[in-house]
Structure 1
Amino acid sequence: MAAYRCGKIFACGAAAIGLLLIAAAPALAADGVPVLNGAKLSPLWAIPFAGMLLSIALFPLLAPHFWHHHYGKVALFWALAFAVPFALTYGPSATAHEVVHTALLEYIPFIVLLFALFTVSGGILVAGNLKGTPETNTIILAIGTVIASLIGTTGASMVLIRPLLRANDERRHNVHTVVFFIFLVSNIGGSLTPLGDPPLFLGFLKGVNFFWTSTHLLHDTAVIAGILLVAYYLIDKYFYAKEGAHPPRVDRTPETEGLGLRGAQNIPLLGGIIGAILISALWKPGITFDVYGTRVELQWIARDVLLLLFAGISLLITPQLLRERNGFDWEPIREVAKLFAAIFLTIIPVIAILKAGANGAFSPLVALVTGPDGQPVNVWYFWLTGALSAFLDNAPTYLVFFNLAGGDPHQLMGPMAVTLEAISAGAVFMGAMTYIGNAPNFMVLSIARHRGVKMPSFFGYMLWSIGFLVPCFALLTLLYFV
């Protein structure tokens, strides 16, 4: 009954938003052909996008039971709140073109990569039970930080969070370990390749070279990761010393087998995923296909087919028992697929407005990140990208500011390299500021709570992130963006 009432509320809301957007829409072109001109779009077209991101931020906190069962309906609500008035205003043909363009060039490659990394990494199990000493924990965090750029923050988080929790389940003080794991493995470590974090993969799809972030964000990553690893070691050493004041706790996962890696047959598949991404960047056969006005290149199709093939092989060669021991299930990737479908759809008019620059409805934002001489203000690009990435989602936020900076990958990798560095660092690093900044954050939170770790609340976690991350970001600002 409650779900039915919510459905009626959503339906009425969608109708109201639709009428509002239709009323605010610009007229069609003189020849009757609908044209999506960002300079003429009202900022009201951003309502579905903002509503979608705010739903992701607030529903899990205010109505977790409803969100768990109906997040797909919420995503559909916001998608229709954009698509229906857009179709009524610009026509089904223009709507189909925009949807196909976004799906083929952005959403499908994005979700295929996440699916492949999630599936293959889910077949790798670190078996055995380590002793959770400060040295051991710091080494695990450091390893996770390094491999996050190779197998993605999602892959690294899923591979390492369970052995880290097993190593520390005898300890009373382990909240800080999970918090720093989210900082380093689920976010900051993914800054060096497009495989590492979804925002960088979107940049790669837009034309940023595969190894650009490896060279331009290496110093940023080394500084912040080094500071956080040292800080973690000192904090963990302090809490580890306090463990001796209490009777020892029972090890809930006693060592029944030696330390080792199970599912190692999936490691070559991870290499295959990296190879597929590199092939799509280096192989240029010049063969293209026109799909409803969208140019699709052969190497992009080959990349996605290979990624799906590697995921399928992983499912065939990995025993189901191993995945069960790893706590593997499909719900996280299902949730990401549904939510991001709506995000990529509702962001269409937002990007069009941003591309209009000073002529668009978001001109105040353009003015804030642009100096009097017309040059980008990199400090603001870093902090605004980061602030929105912390509370919304870092992948679409990256896309927004990428387009705000002009959207030309050659300019951004060349004379505007520091601007792209600021956008990339802000999106990846500040996704660690809250539980909702990056998809792996919530996955790690859920696993840790299930294992009995008394994780802090949403705002309790922010006290940790403000205390440890904001000073690091201020230092990066002084070193690289002023």
Structure 2
Amino acid sequence: MQNKKWRSAALALTLALGPLVAGAAELDGRQLAVWWGIPFAGVLLSIALVPLLAPIFWHHHFGKVAAAWALAFLVPFAVTFGPAATGQAVVHAALAEYVPFIILLTALFTVAGGIFVRGNLHGSPGLNTGLLALGAFLASFMGTTGASMLLIRPLIRANDNRKHQVHVVVFFIFIVSNAGGALTPLGDPPLFLGFLKGVDFFWTVTHLWPQTLFLVGILLALFYAIDWWYYHKREEVRPVDPTPDTRRVGFEGGVNFLLLGVVVGLVLLSGLWKSSVVFNVAGTEVGLPGIVRDIGLIVVALVSLKITPASAHEGNQFGWGPMQEVAKLFAAIFLTIIPVIAMLKAGVDGPFGAVVRAVTNADGSPNTAMYFWATGALSSFLDNAPTYLVFFNTAGGDPAVLMTTLAPVLVAVSAGAVFMGANTYIGNAPNLMVKAIAEDRGVKMPSFFGYMAWSFGILVPLFALMTWIWFV
């Protein structure tokens, strides 16, 4: 019933605003005050605090909380700037950002959820580290979301007879859901946007491999040490395995590997295919390649549901709960972030002008270290894709120059957007999805700030060391 109410409200809002958006001007961030970011901050604080203070309430009503913050932005914005400007902003956020985003996540969630790794995997330090290394490798070729959805369930099942499991999932988010996606435009949305802007497909692997190898290598070594220490503690491994499986290790639903390849192909095709066919929907341009990609992804998801053996879904305990949570929370995030992104895009003339000015030295040259930290800090709490674009354009926006003369700056922006997405649960979409799946499988994940204690204690010192080695 709650899902039906959510969908009905979203549909009613779209129908109400649709006729009003014609001719609306693009949102000018220079006209906005900082307090327009309060609803966005409210969404973040709700995700951080309410599950900790009122877990039962959050479990049953997180969709309503998200909707309330969305309305806290939409209603005052419509009163202040008019229905036309509000409608255009909502349509743009939906068609250009949220709908493609959620379709891709749903396709990856569905296809990866149809691949069941059978056999009794035992979560030893060696096996766990190997799975994390495999995930880091796959992330750059099938995306951090695809690799995360493929491996998180077998990793959790392999460790479900262990007393300590949280560190396994936390490092999985660090490595597979974020750092591993830095080597190709397929790995993470910010790099894909750079590819669309003209950055060569193989530029990232040739320029970011040292930083990626450094970060992933240290994280894997640190994880192995922590996991080894836990594994050899008394009573760490329970005598009874909750999910015993004496079969040889193998796959059920293996046909979904082919469908994963189709997903990657559709995403890559949408970036390579140049078409002059563009549809203008209430001021938002929707290109034919994007439409074909999204329709193709929907078809792939439906085909996966149709052909996946029931045993594979049962083995993975496949359900829509994690996907529904991500869809609802990110709907509120994508709406309430509208004024925040607009203020950032206003550059030095906007309310966040100090942030933009901070990346430039007194002599006018770019401050590479500040590009790394500014991009990363904002990517930790905002959508890392538009944040990447903001600083890509701040550095001049010319891909030919950024790939050569200003290559260190583009490396800093790329690394900040991808790596520091691991700093919070909302820094990158798969973070929240992995958390939701882990909790659905009984892992007591840290709160929003509890997770940040892990990330700030482990990742931030590594980012500081990377700054000293590469960005000063």
Superposition TM-score tier, normalisation by shorter sequence: 0.7 to 0.9
Q: Matched residues in 1 for 2:67 and 2:451: separation?
A: 30
1:110 Cα deviation (Å)? 1.5
Aligned partner of 1:307 in structure 2 is: 297
1:444 Cα deviation (Å)? 3.7
Matching residue's letter, 1:270: L
Instruction: Give yes or no for the alignment of 1:426 onto 2:416.
Output: yes
Q: Matched residues in 2 for 1:392 and 1:214: separation?
A: 25
Q: Matched residues in 1 for 2:346 and 2:382: separation?
A: 23
Instruction: Give yes or no for the alignment of 1:142 onto 2:126.
Output: no
- Counting only pairs closer than 5 Å after superposition, residues 246-325 of structure 1 correspond to structure 2 as 249-325=239-315
Specify the SS of the correspondent of 2:275: coil
Q: Matched residues in 1 for 2:331 and 2:53: separation?
A: 23
- Counting only pairs closer than 5 Å after superposition, residues 82-481 of structure 1 correspond to structure 2 as 82-201=73-192, 211-242=202-233, 249-390=239-380, 394=384, 398=388, 401=391, 415-448=405-438, 461-481=451-471
1:460 Cα deviation (Å)? 5.1
Distance verdict in 2 for CA 1:357–1:173, change over 3 Å: closer
Identity of aligned residues (%): 63
Distance verdict in 2 for CA 1:64–1:398, change over 3 Å: farther
8 Å contact kept, 2:183–2:209: yes
Gaps of 5+ in 1: 4-31
Distance verdict in 2 for CA 1:363–1:175, change over 3 Å: closer
1:456 Cα deviation (Å)? 5.2
1:473 Cα deviation (Å)? 1.2
Q: Matched residues in 2 for 1:339 and 1:175: separation?
A: 23
8 Å contact kept, 1:391–1:437: yes
Q: Matched residues in 1 for 2:293 and 2:450: separation?
A: 41
1:33 Cα deviation (Å)? 7.5
Q: Matched residues in 2 for 1:72 and 1:442: separation?
A: 15
8 Å contact kept, 2:34–2:351: yes
Specify the SS of the correspondent of 1:289: strand
8 Å contact kept, 2:392–2:413: yes
Matching residue's letter, 1:374: G
- Counting only pairs closer than 5 Å after superposition, residues 33-44 of structure 1 correspond to structure 2 as 36-44=27-35
Q: Matched residues in 2 for 1:350 and 1:137: separation?
A: 39
8 Å contact kept, 1:57–1:436: no
Q: Matched residues in 1 for 2:226 and 2:381: separation?
A: 27
Deviations 1:293-320 (A, max 9, x none): 3322211211111111111111111123
Aligned partner of 1:58 in structure 2 is: 49
Matching residue's letter, 1:263: G
Q: Matched residues in 2 for 1:142 and 1:258: separation?
A: 22
Q: Matched residues in 2 for 1:365 and 1:311: separation?
A: 41
Deviations 1:245-285 (A, max 9, x none): 88972223223321101111011111111111121122213
Distance verdict in 2 for CA 1:445–1:362, change over 3 Å: closer
8 Å contact kept, 1:131–1:168: yes
Deviations 1:52-92 (A, max 9, x none): 33323332233322222222222222222222233333332
Q: Matched residues in 1 for 2:69 and 2:236: separation?
A: 52
Specify the SS of the correspondent of 1:217: helix
Q: Matched residues in 2 for 1:169 and 1:458: separation?
A: 23
8 Å contact kept, 1:422–1:481: yes
8 Å contact kept, 1:351–1:403: no
Q: Matched residues in 1 for 2:333 and 2:236: separation?
A: 49
Gaps of 5+ in 2: 3-22
Distance verdict in 2 for CA 1:133–1:478, change over 3 Å: same
Alpha carbon RMSD of aligned pairs, Å? 3.2
Q: Matched residues in 2 for 1:450 and 1:234: separation?
A: 27
8 Å contact kept, 1:354–1:404: no
Q: Matched residues in 1 for 2:62 and 2:444: separation?
A: 25
Q: Matched residues in 1 for 2:237 and 2:254: separation?
A: 38
Aligned residues: 451
Distance verdict in 2 for CA 1:409–1:63, change over 3 Å: farther
Q: Matched residues in 2 for 1:247 and 1:62: separation?
A: 31
8 Å contact kept, 1:209–1:281: no
